[in-house]
Amino acid sequence: MAGLGFKTFNAGEVLTAANVQGYLMDQSLMVFTNATTRDAAISSPQEGMFVFLKDTDALQFYDGSNWTAFTSGGGGGGAGLQDVFLLMGA
């Protein structure tokens, strides 16, 4: 599951471990030097995760089986917004 959705936190609100995981960690964009460092850091990627690779300036998402290139239009062999929305069930 990719996060709990959007939440506005109130000043002084106590965050639980579930809040941090579901609202923050599951919805962050992780940045890695390259695919090797990504793979070393993420041993069990979850469908819908996004990462950015600095060496190739590439935005990728995990489709449940593979890391896939993300492009805004979906052309050129990568996945586009429509593919990601389908992947996320939107």
What does the pLDDT read at residue 90? 44
Residue 27 predicted with pLDDT over 70 = no
- Rg of the chain on CA atoms, in Å: 15
Tell me the average pLDDT across 15-20: 86
pTM of this structure? 0.58
Q: What is the mean pLDDT of residues 3-20?
A: 83
Query: What's the CA angle centered on 89, arms 57 and 77, to 5 degrees?
Result: 35
Per the structure block, which two tokens stand in for 49?
């995760």
**What residues are paired with 53 via a beta bridge?**
32, 58
Q: Where are the domains of the chain?
A: 17-85
Q: Give the pLDDT score at 64.
A: 92
Work out whether the CA dihedral 38, 40, 46, 47 comes out positive or negative.
Answer: positive
State yes or no: pLDDT of 53 exceeds 50.
yes
Q: What are phi and psi of 27, to 5 degrees?
A: -120, 15
pLDDT tens digits for range 38-47: 999 989 888 8
